[in-house]
Amino acid sequence: MRGGVAVSSGSINQRAVYAAEPQPADEHRLSAQWARVRGRLQTEVGDAEYRSWLRHVALVGVDGDEVTMRLPTRFLRDWVRSHYGERLNDLWRAEDDRIRRVDIRVGAGAPPASAKAPTAASAISPELPPAELPAREIPARAAAVPRGEDRPEIRGDASLDQRFTFDSFVVGKPNEFAHACARRVAENPASQGFNPLFLYGGVGLGKTHLMHAIAWELTSPARVGAPVSVAYMSAEKFMYKFIAAIRSQSTMEFKEQHRSVDVLMIDDLQFLIGKDATQEEFFHTFNALVDAGKQIVVSADKSPSDLSGLEDRVRTRLGCGMVADLHATTFELRISILEAKVARTGVSISSKVIEYLAHKITSNVRELEGSLNRLVAHANLFGRAITLETTQEVLHDILKAHDRRVTIEEIQRKVCEHWNIRMTDMSSERRARNVARPRQVAMYLAKQLTSRSLPEIGRKFGNRDHTTVMHAVQRIGSLMASDVGFAEDVELLRRMLEG
């Protein structure tokens, strides 16, 4: 089929369809008309409605006095036909008085990929619905480091995170000792007293960061001296590879591979607890390397002596070099970390927001940096400035322990307090303005903040009818639009109830 317009139900007479015989001028005119029709419709029905129903309408073509459009599903087609059919008719007629009929059909599918030139329809169709989009390849993230020719020294399938270098590690009182030890090992591996280096501390405090930094430093092209080979992996990966080696009967290769490196780093050793065979293998690898004068760096969530579940001989050997812990962050360190990160990302964030984050997110560095990442990503995606307000909005899932479900009673109580009236006035028959208005505000807020049905809201206000609730909602809405002071009052109440 020339033109490649896919229509699943009904066939379209190709003779006069513009798509079949594309003539640049006609095509251009048609596309301009369609754009105007869409634009008018969008203005008339509003963005929300347009996005739900009309965004997927695609123009197929014009055949004599008939315009043909398509939608991907029958449901959408029926809905658009019954709700917007007439309007579409009128709008098209306004564009071209020859048009007598607008036909809407079901037709999924963009033109086949083999189509040589874009057809009128494909050129004109608005955004395609998701299923019609070609599957996109997801680029591997930049964090992964090219392995192979550039850095032949790093082994262990380690994808070192490029962000985790010594330069990006913010030093403060809680981590300065661990940092100094890591530096020392990076400068001078396997030196007396620093082998093995055992880093421990709670989650997200920088153990992995320091290990990656050591690896980066040791394999840096700027480093002087003989090249060193570094293997870095998580304990989990070590175990996985070991089990795979047993299965494929290649344990000798596994042993050789891990015992021929200059520096072996195993992250999160606590995950070997209870895995006896892997622990055994790790112990032998460990001994072989230390005996050969090679450096070992290990991290875990506890000190060697507290790692119950590890064999005693393993614990003893782990603790015989340098043991350094990373403590929980202080407020000052959190501020420095955030400031350093903000400087790197180049976004502008006020010191008020930074202090707020440092004050609120105290658990660990991962969560602190994670929060900042989220804020920056949100600001970039939606083009919004990072203010205290957006911060609270974007991070509400971690700033608040739970999102409270507001009840109608709470709303009534708050409203009564605010205007200094009695709770009984919420359900009373009194219609004086000073009680009727607050009552309407409470109904309005009940509609906004709860998912109760309107009749149910009515019931809580002295068994009023749901039409009374609807009226209240409309009344308060229009009052808020015309009276800024009143709108602020209602917004304040809403914030208090939601907070």
Partner 1 sequence: MTYSPRQLGLPFVQAALFTPDFLEGKSNAEALAWLDRVADWPLGRLALWGDAGSGKSHLLHLWAARNRARIIPGPDLALRPPSGAIAIDDADAAAEVALFHMLNAAAEAGWPVLLTGRAPPARWATRLPDLASRLRATHAVELCEPDEHMLRALLARLLAERQVAVPEAVQEWLLTRLPRTAGAMREAAARIDRVSLAARRPVTRQIAALVLDDDFIESADGLSPAGPSLL
Q: Which is nearer to partner 1, 435 or 443 (CB)?
A: 443
Tell me which stretch binds partner 1 (CB under 8 A): 131-139, 186-194, 213-221, 275-283: 131-139
In contact, 35 and 43? CB cutoff 8 Å: no
Token pair in block for residue 96 = 């071209």
Asked if 85 is part of the footprint of partner 1 (rule: CB under 8 A), the reply reads no
Asked if 382 is part of the footprint of partner 1 (rule: CB under 8 A), the reply reads yes
C-alpha separations of 83 from 51, 90, 94 in Å: 14, 13, 19
List 14, 42, 53, 427, residue binding partner 1 (CB under 8 A): 53
Asked if 52 is part of the footprint of partner 1 (rule: CB under 8 A), the reply reads yes
Asked if 236 is part of the footprint of partner 1 (rule: CB under 8 A), the reply reads yes
Q: Which is nearer to partner 1, 273 or 479 (CB)?
A: 273
Tell me which stretch binds partner 1 (CB under 8 A): 125-133, 176-184, 221-229, 475-483: 125-133
Sign of CA dihedral 336, 342, 346, 350: negative
Neighbours of 440 (CB within 10 A): 21
Task: Quote the CA–CA distance of 327 and 173 in Å, as a whole number.
Answer: 9
Token pair in block for residue 224 = 């002087």
Match 């929060």 to its residue by tokens.
Answer: 371
Match 């989009």 to its residue by tokens.
Answer: 133
* Minimal distance, residue 164 CB to partner 1, in Å: 12
Residue 320: name the closest of 346, 286, 343, 277 by CA: 286
List 14, 31, 42, 73, residue binding partner 1 (CB under 8 A): 73
C-alpha atoms less than 13 angstroms from C-alpha of 448 in its C-beta half-sphere? 19
Total chain residues near partner 1 (CB under 8 A): 64
The whole-angstrom distance between residue 392's C-alpha and the CA centroid of its chain comes to 16
Asked if 277 is part of the footprint of partner 1 (rule: CB under 8 A), the reply reads no
Asked if 248 is part of the footprint of partner 1 (rule: CB under 8 A), the reply reads no
Asked if 411 is part of the footprint of partner 1 (rule: CB under 8 A), the reply reads no
Angle value at C-alpha 194, between 156 and 167, nearest 5 degrees = 65
Asked if 63 is part of the footprint of partner 1 (rule: CB under 8 A), the reply reads no
Neighbours of 160 (CB within 10 A): 22
Asked if 398 is part of the footprint of partner 1 (rule: CB under 8 A), the reply reads yes
List 129, 172, 319, 462, residue binding partner 1 (CB under 8 A): 129
* Minimal distance, residue 56 CB to partner 1, in Å: 7
Strands 58-63 and 66-71: antiparallel
Token pair in block for residue 84 = 């917007």
* Minimal distance, residue 40 CB to partner 1, in Å: 20
Q: Which is nearer to partner 1, 356 or 419 (CB)?
A: 356
* Minimal distance, residue 180 CB to partner 1, in Å: 25
* Minimal distance, residue 419 CB to partner 1, in Å: 26
Neighbours of 237 (CB within 10 A): 17
List 15, 141, 422, 495, residue binding partner 1 (CB under 8 A): 141
List 21, 36, 89, 108, residue binding partner 1 (CB under 8 A): 108
List 15, 114, 130, 420, residue binding partner 1 (CB under 8 A): 130
Task: Quote the CA–CA distance of 125 and 128 in Å, as a whole number.
Answer: 7
* Minimal distance, residue 421 CB to partner 1, in Å: 27
Asked if 202 is part of the footprint of partner 1 (rule: CB under 8 A), the reply reads yes
Q: Is 117 helix (H, G, I), strand (E, B) or coil?
A: coil
Asked if 402 is part of the footprint of partner 1 (rule: CB under 8 A), the reply reads yes
Strands 295-300 and 197-201: parallel
The angle that helices 484-498 and 408-419 make with each other, rounded to 10 degrees, is 130
List 25, 113, 140, 224, residue binding partner 1 (CB under 8 A): 140
Asked if 247 is part of the footprint of partner 1 (rule: CB under 8 A), the reply reads no
Asked if 136 is part of the footprint of partner 1 (rule: CB under 8 A), the reply reads yes
* Minimal distance, residue 406 CB to partner 1, in Å: 13
Asked if 383 is part of the footprint of partner 1 (rule: CB under 8 A), the reply reads no
* Minimal distance, residue 495 CB to partner 1, in Å: 17
Q: Is 199 helix (H, G, I), strand (E, B) or coil?
A: strand
* Minimal distance, residue 54 CB to partner 1, in Å: 11
Residue 263 DSSP class: E
Q: Is 81 helix (H, G, I), strand (E, B) or coil?
A: helix
The angle that helices 235-247 and 251-259 make with each other, rounded to 10 degrees, is 140
Partners of 69 in the β-ladder? 59, 104
Task: Quote the CA–CA distance of 371 and 357 in Å, as a whole number.
Answer: 8
What mask of x and - would describe binding to partner 1 in positions 436 to 475, judged by CB under 8 A? Answer: ---------------xxxxxx---------x---x-----
In contact, 69 and 61? CB cutoff 8 Å: no
Binding residues for partner 1, per CB under 8 A? 48-49, 51-53, 55-56, 72-73, 75-76, 78-79, 108, 129-133, 135-136, 138-141, 143-144, 159, 202-204, 234, 236, 240, 268, 301, 363-364, 366-367, 369-371, 373-374, 376-378, 380-382, 397-398, 401-402, 405, 451-456, 466, 470
